[in-house]
Amino acid sequence: MSEVQVVGPGDWRVWRELRLAALAEAPGVFSAKLSEWTGPGDTETRWRAWLTEIPFTVIVWWQGIPAGMAGAFCPAADRVELVAMWVAPVARGHGVGDAVVEAVVRWAGDRRVGLVVNRDNRPAIRLYERHGFADTDLPTDHVGEKRMLRPHDGTRCATGVCARHGRPDTTGDHSLAPGFTGPR
Ligand SMILES: CC(C)(COP(=O)(O)OP(=O)(O)OC[C@H]1O[C@@H](n2cnc3c(N)ncnc32)[C@H](O)[C@@H]1OP(=O)(O)O)[C@@H](O)C(=O)NCCC(=O)NCCS
């Protein structure tokens, strides 16, 4: 049984615990490095800032422990980027990843959802494909990665402003910014 919790700056302690575990356990899949978030980089201010700047962050509790996580932000009004996706090894294969992706997709509404994944990360790719993500040939920052995209029905975000992020879409450009990946 899993439970989804949307977290904010006040939840920085549990977010920190999960994020440090993720960076230690899966160092090759995130652009952030454990060394950047430990020692002098490990401050309450910084964790709170992450949870403030990333407009949607979820934790999934599984059997009473925080076991899954992801963040999402809006690089454009009609687009959401899924980042920092991780499930604790003990909880893998039990639908925690599904719950995390479903929460982000629900928050995205009629916006497209994009992400960057290592081409050899089969468990993650299978999870994303199951939720409607498909390969693109859009560029990524690093060799060995690919960008996947979950299309929507073509309807733009009603307000033209990304909810909670408050960034108006003034460009009229609804394509993916080349090379854009944001924090992973
Ligand atoms: C990718 C990840 C989020 C999937 O989480 P999950 O909750 O296990 O997702 P699923 O239950 O859909 O399982 C995904 C696949 O892993 C397999 N799997 C099952 N148990 C597993 C286990 N104990 N360990 C590893 N993989 C397992 C599943 O069978 C499934 O493959 P299938 O679709 O062929 O059946 C998780 O493996 C993870 O956090 N990996 C490290 C971080 C990472 O890669 N993040 C994504 C960055 S883009």
pLDDT at 1: 79
Q: Is 121 in the pocket of ligand 1 (CB under 6 A)?
A: yes
Is the CB of 123 within 6 Å of ligand 1?
A: yes
Lowest mean pLDDT among 27-31, 46-50, 71-75, 86-90: 27-31
Between the CA of 172 and the centroid of ligand 1 the distance, in Å, is: 36
Whether the per-residue pLDDT at 20 is higher than 70: the answer is: yes
pLDDT tens digits, residue range 123-169? Answer: 999 999 999 999 999 999 999 999 999 997 444 433 333 443 333 33
Can you spell out the DSSP letters for the chain?
Answer: -EEEEEE-GGGHHHHHHHHHHHHHH-TTT-SS-GGGSSGGG--HHHHHHHHHHSSEEEEEEETTEEEEEEEEEEEETTEEEEEEEEE-GGGTTTTHHHHHHHHHHHHHTTSEEEEEEETT-HHHHHHHHHTT-EE-----SSTTEEEEEE---SPPPTTSB-TTT--B--S---SPPTT-----
Tell me the pTM.
0.85
- Topology (CATH level 3) of domain 2-150: Aminopeptidase (3.40.630)
Map out the domains of the chain as residue ranges. 2-150
